A and B are shown apart, each in its own frame.
Chain A
Amino acid sequence: AAGVIQSPRHLIKEKRETATLKCYPIPRHDTVYWYQQGPGQDPQFLISFYEKMQSDKGSIPDRFSAQQFSDYHSELNMSSLELGDSALYFCASSPGRGGRTDTQYFGPGTRLTVL
């Protein structure tokens, strides 16, 4: 079965640079979520999109922005990178509203290292 695809899988940037992370949800999933997981920490919700509109907002810094495109893929744009942004960034997708569980399925993550 198709899974969530994220690219790149690994990214190394320097402080104050920008980064763009991409997420391709499971086919026919219309909701995308972004999570940040620091070393030894639990995933922290950043932002989500339903039908290309922002649906929920978590602890996303103002330096970050995201959007969902017409093909439902999503991009997380990160600017003025800081050392503390080094983390695993997960994208998850779910089938959307309705359904019993609306379970989120996670992609393999992008490991961002800021030097």
Chain B
Amino acid sequence: GQNIDQPTEMTATEGAIVQINCTYQTSGFNGLFWYQQHAGEAPTFLSYNVLDGLEEKGRFSSFLSRSKGYSYLLLKELQMKDSASYLCAVRDQNTGRRALTFGSGTRLQVQP
């Protein structure tokens, strides 16, 4: 199975940069996803990494190191609307699953 760890909560200031880390342990890594979830709403896809390196998408970037079992999501120019939970999710081909296993999420609070 997978163990996925993320910080529970983070606080940052509007306009700043924040990095949310995720570590995982899996036997057949086949991709890591980041989702944003506002309270009571559906998770919204942010990014996908399967190879090592940085994927940039506007104000959001995601990094992956497979050898370290480590990823981070970088949010730049923070806005108040970025206050949400950020979920790291892993897909493991060895379990035969295309389903995702989610971490517990990081609740980000953006302050003025």
A106 near B44 with CB under 8 A, answer yes
A43 near B45 with CB under 8 A, answer no
Q: Count contacts on A: residues with CB < 8 A to the other chain.
A: 27
A107 near B104 with CB under 8 A, answer no
B98 near A102 with CB under 8 A, answer yes
The number of inter-chain residue pairs (CB within 8 angstroms) is 58
The answer to whether the Cβ of A78 comes within 8 Å of any Cβ in the partner chain is no
Residue in B closest to A6 when the chains form the complex, CB atoms:
B42
Residue in B closest to A109 when the chains form the complex, CB atoms:
B42
Contacts of B4-41 to chain A: CB distance below 8 A: 31, 33, 35, 40-41
Q: Which residues of chain B have a CB within 8 Å of any CB of chain A?
A: 31, 33, 35, 40-45, 48, 50, 87, 96-105
Q: Which residues of chain A have a CB within 8 Å of any CB of chain B?
A: 4, 31, 33, 41-45, 48, 50, 55-56, 58, 88, 90, 94, 100-109, 111
Interface pairs (19), CB distance under 8 Å? A4-B42, A31-B98, A42-B87, A43-B43, A44-B102, A45-B100, A48-B99, A55-B98, A58-B97, A90-B42, A100-B50, A101-B31, A103-B45, A104-B45, A104-B100, A105-B45, A106-B35, A106-B45, A108-B42
